[in-house]
């Protein structure tokens, strides 16, 4: 199994709007991408089109809470985070994202070459299926990274592990209480209303299976990749097994031609 850097993988595709969807570590992955892009000498923006926790101690990136993204000043070097503060009556524990059109406008004005977007919310659960209004993906998105937390594999399908359980049941065919299987995760990735819902036709799809440092998780990730490639080998370009909180962007790469 090849070990790679997720940022190096994205460098092969090229800069643009990279959206993260799903559950299980999107925010940690978002900040790792921004920080490592800065370390590599790139200018980058980390932002969201959803609601998310404020940066706080999760990242050393400078933050701007500009209500109008058109008024944002790009970093002269390195990376930054930007979003809106919670509006009156909103959740004070969250920052609020820009619209898909506003993120597209930032890309069109070449705000930064790299724009990393948390385009989905999962309320801290390792896995989710999107609601009708989710995920919020800009039209100019070049890469969509679907994220799954491997801590849910072989565990019971419960609301504590699955965000939007009714949607998850529709997409995967699992019933509440059933064990979450690799086949169910492959179905979540492949379904039109699953992880990659609303992705532009031209966008590259990548699957990131997070929490691979847990006991048995690497084997579970391999089983997901095997099920996914057996069903549709061309749907995602590659599957990555990583532990964003521990290994940041270092991960194992699986592809249809070299699955293991």
CATH of the domain at 177: 3.40.50
Peptide bond into 135 cis (omega under 30): yes
> Is 105 part of a structural domain of the chain?
no
Q: Would you write out the chain's pLDDT as a tens digit for each of its 260 residues?
A: 679 999 999 999 999 999 999 998 999 999 999 999 999 999 999 999 999 998 988 999 999 999 999 999 999 999 999 999 999 999 999 999 999 999 999 999 999 999 999 999 999 999 999 999 999 999 999 999 999 999 999 999 999 999 999 999 999 999 999 999 999 999 999 999 999 999 999 999 999 999 999 999 999 999 999 999 999 999 999 999 999 999 999 999 999 986 44
In this structure, the dihedral spanned by the alpha carbons of residues 32, 128, 101 and 198, taken in order and rounded to 10 degrees, is 120
Q: Tell me if 66 is assigned to some domain.
A: no
Tally of domains within the chain? 1
The pLDDT value given to residue 140: 98
Measured CA to CA, the distance from residue 81 to residue 60 in angstroms comes to: 10
102 lies in some domain = no
The answer to whether the CB of 74 falls within 8 A of the CB of 43 is yes
Structural domain including 192 reads 2-48+112-254
Domain contains 125: yes
Give the whole-angstrom CA distance, residue 79 versus residue 40.
11
State the pLDDT at residue 168.
Answer: 97
Token pair for 19: 């959206």
Is position 64 within any domain? no
33 lies in some domain: yes
pLDDT of residue 1: 67
Comparing C-alpha atoms, which of 24, 193, 27 is closest to residue 119? 27
- Is 260 inside any structural domain? no
The model's pTM is 0.96
Q: Residue 222: exposed, middle, or buried by beta-carbon count in 10 A (0-12, 13-18, 19+)?
A: buried
C-beta neighbour count of 70 within 10 angstroms: 11
Residue ranges of E strands in 49-140: 51-52, 63-64, 79-82, 95-96, 114-118, 127-128
Indicate the DSSP class of residue 151: G
pLDDT for position 258 = 65
Does residue 164 lie within any of the structural domains? yes
Fill in the DSSP letter of residue 204: E
Interatomic CA distance for residues 14 and 12, integer angstroms: 6
d(CA 64, CA 153): 37
């Amino acid at each position: 199994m090849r070990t790679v850097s997720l940022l190096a993988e994205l460098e092969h595709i090229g800069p643009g709007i990279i959206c993260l969807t799903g559950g299980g570590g999107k925010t940690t992955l978002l900040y790792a991408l921004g920080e490592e892009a800065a370390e590599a000498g790139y200018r980058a923006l980390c932002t969201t089109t959803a609601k998310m926790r404020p940066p706080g101690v999760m990242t050393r990136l400078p933050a701007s809470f500009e209500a109008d993204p058109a008024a944002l000043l790009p970093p002269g070097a390195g990376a930054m985070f930007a979003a809106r503060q919670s509006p009156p009556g909103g959740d004070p524990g969250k920052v609020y994202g820009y619209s898909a059109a506003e993120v597209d406008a930032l890309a069109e004005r070449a705000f930064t070459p790299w724009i990393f977007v948390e385009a989905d919310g999962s309320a801290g659960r390792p896995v989710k299926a999107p609601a009708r209004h989710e995920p919020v993906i800009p039209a100019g998105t070049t890469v969509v990274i679907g994220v799954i937390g491997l801590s849910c594999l072989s565990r019971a399908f419960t609301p504590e592990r699955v965000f939007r359980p009714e949607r998850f049941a529709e997409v995967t065919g699992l019933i509440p209480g059933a064990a979450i299987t690799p086949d169910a995760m492959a179905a979540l990735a492949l379904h039109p209303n699953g992880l990659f819902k609303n992705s532009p036709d031209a966008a590259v799809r990548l699957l990131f299976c997070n929490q691979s440092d847990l006991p048995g998780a690497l084997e579970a990730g391999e089983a997901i990749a095997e099920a996914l490639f057996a069903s549709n080998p061309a749907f995602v370009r590659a599957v990555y097994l990583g532990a964003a909180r521990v290994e940041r962007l270092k991960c194992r790469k699986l592809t249809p031609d070299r699955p293991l």
